[in-house]
Amino acid sequence: EVMAKRGVLSKDLAAHVGITEANMSLLRQGKVKGVRFETLTKICEFLQCQPGDLLEYCPEESSD
């Protein structure tokens, strides 16, 4: 994980981004449906990484 490699604490990242630690936890667990570009930009700036280092594409299963 990018945060671990950089020695970043979740609470520090949440404070920089301007979200609660609870919301940061949900983001880290992939339990959100989407993320604002502004939030993603702040995360990438703080971690000095690219969005692709953080995101993973997981297609939804079709209900057919």
> CATH number of the domain at 2-53, please?
1.10.260.40
Read off the pTM: 0.81
Whether the CB-CB separation of 32 and 22 falls below 8 Å is answered with no
Domain ranges of the chain: 2-53
- Dihedral, CA of residue 48, residue 51, residue 52 and residue 58, to nearest 10: 140
Question: 2-61: per-residue pLDDT in tens?
Answer: 999 999 999 999 999 999 999 999 999 989 888 999 999 999 999 999 999 998 887 887
Whether the CB-CB separation of 6 and 48 falls below 8 Å is answered with yes
